[in-house]
Amino acid sequence: MSATTFNETPTLPRPPGVQAMAALAAGALLLAGVAWISQVVSGRQAALYLLGAALGMVLYHASFGFTSAWRVFIADRRGEGLRAQMFMLALAALLFFPVLAQGTLFGEPVRGLVSPVGVSVVFGAFLFGIGMQLGGGCASGTLYTAGGGSVRMVLTLLFFVVGSTLGAAHLHWWASLPSLPPISLVALWGPWAALAANLVVFALIAGITVVLERRRHGRLVQAAAPVRHGLGRFLRGPWPVLAGAVGLALLNFATLALSGRPWGITSAFALWGSKAAVALGIDAASWPYWSAPAQRAALEGSVLNDVTSVMDFGIIVGALLAAALAGRYAPKLGVPLRSALAAVVGGLVLGYGARLAYGCNIGAYFSGIVSGSLHGWVWMVAAFFGNVLGTRIRPLFGLEVERVPRQTGC
């Protein structure tokens, strides 16, 4: 009697279906938000709200996490996420540098996010890096994972706002410490020389991750087979991480076109927290942070007039829609005590560090570098070392240090 061998292709698990109620709720929030913002502010502000929603969907579907990408490289030399960040930066720099050198886009004035480089930036970025690993996400990751249903990340976001408010209250002292003035490499070297230098550094960093990953593992990590294809994959994910890199670069450029400056996130947190402080009877308006006319107007006006706030709201709603379309919206109320403590501490450190460093992984790192700001590169180096320390202390809070990238922004 002979045995018969069957060669069968393994069947991939069936992906979850669309969560109709959550998707309808997210769609209603998008439509209501557009109608409301158009009415009380402007059509352009409503378009920025939709742009934020698009960013939230890209972040969620591509699981584009800065925090997890840095952690798995630090812990196990897996560099796919870092290479995707370098690709995103390279594509965005190609778009941004010539336009910023010209100073206009489609006939409208535009400017980059160029900030001073000093003690405040180095210390703030280092703190932010620690907070990324304890809080479980960066600024963009906190927003889109909170929108995607993570109750723990809602806790991180709450204390992110508190930390940002404290940072705004103290920033004048930190800004008085030794620093260089804002330095734009685009203005200093010209757009093409600055672009060439940045592209070389992006390629060098990506190349180093390849060498180190192959040295550790013998090969580069292989992406899992997609569970959806075609239009279904586009609408419901998951996307390749490089698709996320392209989407974020293009949408940041769209932000520049619509708002006149690149994408940012955390200045809104300081605004929300300061407004809450005023409501509680704290004289936040007396802080030097709010002394400039534009800043004072933001504090005294509606948050819907603030570009960053409107885009942040859009990111949360867009991530909610993406999670519902993917069938992955499943909030869990229970958070282990040590994990909750890490979220509180991480959120506070994230917020405080972001204000000291004039931005986060988006406003300082992504948008700073593609604005040609030297401050963006200094932020990256200091934040990376903060991530190294944060990765080392995660286990003290019962947090995992995974060895391969996972489908989350945390």
CA nearest 73: which of 215, 225, 198? 215
What is the C-alpha separation between 143 and 135, in angstroms, rounded?
Answer: 12
- Delimit the domains of the chain by residue range: 20-218+238-397
**Does the pLDDT value for residue 11 go beyond 60?**
no
**Does the pLDDT value for residue 405 go beyond 60?**
no
**Does the pLDDT value for residue 308 go beyond 50?**
yes
pLDDT digit string (tens) for 283-298? 999 999 999 999 999 9
pLDDT digit string (tens) for 192-238? 999 999 999 999 999 999 999 999 999 988 777 777 778 878 888 79
| pLDDT value for 14 | 67
What is the C-alpha separation between 44 and 147, in angstroms, rounded?
Answer: 23
Residue 380 · residue 86 · CB < 8 Å? no
Residue 318 · residue 327 · CB < 8 Å? no
CA distances from 17 to 56, 60, 237, 318, 396 (A): 20, 16, 12, 18, 37
| pLDDT value for 3 | 43
CA distances from 80 to 54, 182, 394 (A): 23, 32, 22
Name the E strands within 68-153.
104-105, 108-109, 117-118
CA distances from 49 to 76, 245, 316, 336 (A): 38, 20, 10, 34
Segment 25-45 shows an average pLDDT of: 97
CA nearest 28: which of 324, 239, 272? 324
What is the C-alpha separation between 120 and 132, in angstroms, rounded?
Answer: 18
pLDDT digit string (tens) for 340-381? 999 999 999 999 999 999 999 999 999 999 999 999 999 999
Q: Say which residues have a Cβ less than 8 Å from residue 117's Cβ, sequence separation at least 6.
A: 179, 180, 182, 183, 374, 375, 378
Q: For residues 42 and 15, which has the higher predicted lDDT (pLDDT)?
A: 42
Q: Say which residues have a Cβ less than 8 Å from residue 298's Cβ, sequence separation at least 6.
A: 271, 290, 305, 306
Segment 29-53 shows an average pLDDT of: 97
What is the C-alpha separation between 67 and 82, in angstroms, rounded?
Answer: 10
Which amino acid belongs to residue 241? V
Residue 404 burial (CB count, 10 A): 12
CA nearest 388: which of 74, 94, 45? 74
Q: Is the peptide bond before 238 cis (omega within 30 degrees of 0)?
A: yes
Which amino acid belongs to residue 139? A
Q: How confident is the model at residue 1 (pLDDT cuts 50, 70, 90)?
A: very low
